[in-house]
Each structure stands twice: as C-alpha cells, then as structure tokens.
Structure 1
C-alpha cells in the first residue's frame, strides 16, 4: 500500500488518535495505580501475558501462514484503543480505570510490542521478509508518545478545550480507522475473499476471548464489577490503527496489516454485543454504583 494513504495519511491518522488520547489523560491517571493496584496488575497481566498466549494458540489452531500469523501477534501486542473508554462509559464501567490502563499500557508497549512481534517473526520464519529493528521501534513510539504528551500538555493548560474536543476526536478516530480499513481492503482487493476466509473467524474469536478474559479473570481475582467491565473493554478493544501502522510503515508488509484491518472492521459490533451480554447476564445492578476512589 505504497500510496499517500499509507506514507502521509496513516502517520497523521495515528498522530490525531494519540493526541486525542492525550487530551483525556492527566498525571493523576498514572498516580491512580496506587489506589487500585489489584485491578491494574490483573488487567495488565491479562493484556501482556494471557492474550499473547491465547492468540498464539489460535494462530496455531487455525494454521495461519507466516505473515498473517505475525499480524495476529502484532494485534495481540497492541495496547488498548481509544474506543475502550467509550464502551466502558456506555456499559457502566470504571472509565477512570480505563484511562489509567491505557496510559500505563501505552508506555509498557514500548517494550512489549516489539518483543512479542519479533518473537513471532522469528518463530514463524518470517525474518527473511520482515524485521522490527530498534531504530524502527523508536520511530513508532515517537509518533505514538509525542502526540500523547502534547495532548496532555494541552489538557493541563486548556482543560476547557480538551473537554470540548473529546467527542469530536473520538468520532474522528472511528472515521479514521474506517478509512484505513477501507484503504487496506482496496489495496488487497484481489485477496480480500481469501483473507476474510483465513482470518475472519480467528480475529472474531480472538476479540470475543479478549473481552471475556478481560472481565472474567479480574472477577475471579476479586476486582469489582465496574472495574472488571473497564478491564474487559481495555483488553478486548485493541489499537488496530497502531497495528496497521507498524505493519504497513515499519514492517512494510501490507499482508501483516490484514488481521488488524479485519479486526478493526468487526470489533465495534462484537464489543457492543458483549456490552449487552454483560449488562443483561453477567453484571448485577449494583455495578452501576460508584467505585471508591
């Protein structure tokens, strides 16, 4: 996908999305870890340990070809997306915990994303085709973390502007992701049917398992229901835009971006359906009560 959409539009799109994330963050979001350590530790353990293991098992089960397998592992290594906060709010999760997890996970991903991706590249013998070198890692997280830092500075200096921009930026993020997915599908139009057949089921199943793990494991660990709802969406709604960016611009292999694109297309519907399941079958009414700070 060597076009203006990838070389110019994709970095700008990711920058806008991460700037919007920064507008919702404050330094207190990082300090809040000390007030809810169990919820944070359990959620991060699910994100960093359980999900990559689950994804690896699914990749082997579905016998994906190397580049698509790497794309799935890259998706699993990507931190939570900005839409997680919206779903958590809609289904009465602890949104403050979402923001805290997103902030921390985005920092940890500096190490975890290239580590998991490079392990996948080595395991699936894709190292002759793609590689994620240290200089490229720095490039990725410059475009990820600098807009976040800028957004946080804007929020600190102009909190009223940050509040006004919250909804427009969230809408823009969803539109941007839709455009990226469409661009990838058009670029790979000759292989769309084959890719859908190969990764449609595995990405849908991965999304469902991610959401379920994100809720059930914290509940088993004694985390409150509102925090478990937040954890579920934070873990289940990955930053597909980041996965697509790394695949297309860093690894320079559009096929690796296909799982992220397919996931980005179906995730919104699966997450909404999961929210309904949570509210109707898994969560008591007391979950709507506030959580102690």
Structure 2
C-alpha cells in the first residue's frame, strides 16, 4: 500500500465529490452575507496560522513535523464540515460557500505558508519548498477535480446528485487507507513524536473550532452561521495536506501531522457539533419561554 500512489487518487476523488455539490452560485452567495464570510476567512487564513506557529514553537516540534502542522492549518476546510453542519444545525449554504472560496484561495495561501515555514523551521533542509512549478501542481490537484465535478453537475444534475453520497463515502474510505499507509510507513518517526503530535493536533483543532464559533459570535453573526464557520475552520482537509507532503514535497515526515490530525479532528468535530446543537436547543427553549412569559404578562 503505497501512500504516494494512493494520495493523488484520494484527493482527486474528494475534490471531485466537492465539485459535484458546487455551483457558480455558491461563489456568488458571498454577497448575501459578506460579514460571516469575511470573518471566517480572516480567522482561517490569518489568525490560525499565527496561533499554530506559536504552538509549534511552544511544543518544540522537530522542523519537518513543524512544517507539517503549518501545512494542515493552511489547507482548506474538509467535506466532513458540510456533513456535520447539515446534521447539527449549521448554515449549510455558508459552509458550501466557504469551502468553495477556501479551495480557491488555498492555491495561493498553501505555497506561502509552506515556504515561510520551511525557511523558518528548516533553513538548512535544501530547496524542497513549493516553487512556481510545484505551486502549479498544487493548484491543479486542488482545482481541476473540483471544476470537473462542477461541470458534471451542470451537465448531468440528476447523476451528480445521485453520486454525491457514494463519492463522499468512497473518499472517506480512501482517506482512511491513506492515513493508515502514512502511519505504517513512518512508524519509527511517529512513535518518537506521537505524544507531542497528539497534544498539538488536539489543541489546534479545539482552538480552531472555538475561534471559528466565538469570533463570529462576538461580531453578532447568527448562531447557525457561527456553527458553520467553526466546522469549516476547525476541520481542515487532511487529504490536501497529505498529498502535498507526500507527492509534491516528497517528504513523508511532513505528512505525519496530517495523518494524526485527520483522526483527531473527526472525533473532536463530532463532539463540538453535538455541543453546538445542544446550545442551539437551549437557546431556542429560552426564547420560547420568554415569548410565553411575555404573552402571559400581556
């Protein structure tokens, strides 16, 4: 089971599945709620890399693992965020819009974050960064399957809707195999750093979810949109990080944080989404009680 072979296939299927759920309207929808989109993008593109950078220094991760952590936070949100948003009371339309925009902006932000991280954490490691040609590879890997999926949806809508669920299931299975292959091929390195990686990936995921929810709430973004923002920001697309580390940078050590994060984030995402739904229900009950008490006083 060769991760280098599996990963581009996994990413292509995942991003194609994303394209099957997107239309051009999803990109234009930003005009309907610009505040929610802008706040979420600032949190994801600017705030989280700074926070993660600080945590990486605090935990004193080895250079290549530090780069892997930075690569994770530079990756766009994963498809699982849309599913959890639908199940737990988020604004799914906002999730889809954020995913669409993040997938495009990632082709710029990922090379910047990776190259800056390599220059800072591993300056003597040689020229393994994302130069122009490799940055184009990232753009092609991320965008081309999405565009193909959108074309299929445009031309064969019924088929696209029918295939959304099977493709999503297939992508999760393949991603699980990719994570397993990455772990098995780097057991010695993982064993030496598993404690630090588990702690920092857990912290990064929890902080991402919290920032994604509470920062929009501070700016009076609605609770369903804040839930969507939290899931989009907190659950990064691990497949993108794994593919770039293994197939583009050709360094399996950089992929290890992504493999650990892929497992941790799904578990924490479900827990956070459950808490968000509980908060929603409590808020709805309190509002209903206020309306009832107001009516009785009147």
Q: Same fold (TM over 0.5)?
A: yes
CA distance in 1 between counterparts of 2:5 and 2:252 reads: 15
In structure 1, which of residues 7, 10, 30 is the aligned counterpart of residue 7 of structure 2? 10
CA distance in 2 between counterparts of 1:126 and 1:95 reads: 42
The verdict on how the C-alpha distance between 1:190 and 1:128 changes in structure 2, with shifts beyond 3 A counting, is closer
In structure 2, which of residues 10, 32, 37 is the aligned counterpart of residue 35 of structure 1? 32
Matched, 1:83 2:76: no
In structure 2, which of residues 56, 59, 64 is the aligned counterpart of residue 67 of structure 1? 64
> Number of residue pairs matched?
284
Q: Which has the larger radius of gyration?
A: 2
Quick check: 146-155 or 274-283, which moved more?
274-283
Cα distance, 1:259 vs structure 2:
0.4
Q: Specify the alignment match of 1:50 in structure 2.
A: 47
Using the size of structure 1 for normalisation, the TM-score is 0.93
Q: What pairs with 1:141-290 in structure 2 (closer than 5 Å)?
A: 141-281=139-279, 284-286=282-284
Q: Specify the alignment match of 1:106 in structure 2.
A: 103
Q: Which runs of 5+ in 2 are unaligned?
A: 286-298
Cα distance, 1:198 vs structure 2:
2.4
Maintained 8 Å contact 1:22/1:151: yes
Maintained 8 Å contact 1:155/1:161: yes
In structure 2, which of residues 116, 133, 136 is the aligned counterpart of residue 135 of structure 1? 133
Alignment partner of 2:236: what SS? coil
- Following TM superposition, where does structure 1 have runs of at least 4 consecutive aligned residues deviating by more than 3 angstroms? 281-287
Alignment partner of 1:80: what SS? coil
CA distance in 1 between counterparts of 2:13 and 2:133 reads: 22
Q: Specify the alignment match of 2:293 in structure 1.
A: none
CA distance in 2 between counterparts of 1:75 and 1:58 reads: 13
Quick check: 128-137 or 273-282, which moved more?
273-282
Maintained 8 Å contact 2:64/2:122: no
Maintained 8 Å contact 1:19/1:150: yes
The root-mean-square deviation of aligned C-alpha atoms, in Å, is 1.5
Maintained 8 Å contact 1:93/1:230: yes
Maintained 8 Å contact 1:67/1:126: no
CA distance in 1 between counterparts of 2:260 and 2:81 reads: 18
Maintained 8 Å contact 1:248/1:257: yes
Q: Which runs of 5+ in 1 are unaligned?
A: 288-293
Using the size of structure 2 for normalisation, the TM-score is 0.92
Q: Tell me the alpha carbon deviations over residues 18-42 of structure 1, each in whole angstroms, 9 at most, x when there is no partner.
A: 0000000000001100001000000
CA distance in 2 between counterparts of 1:267 and 1:101 reads: 18
In structure 2, which of residues 11, 17, 20 is the aligned counterpart of residue 20 of structure 1? 17
The verdict on how the C-alpha distance between 1:97 and 1:44 changes in structure 2, with shifts beyond 3 A counting, is same
Alignment partner of 2:191: what SS? helix
Cα distance, 1:126 vs structure 2:
4.1
The verdict on how the C-alpha distance between 1:196 and 1:283 changes in structure 2, with shifts beyond 3 A counting, is farther
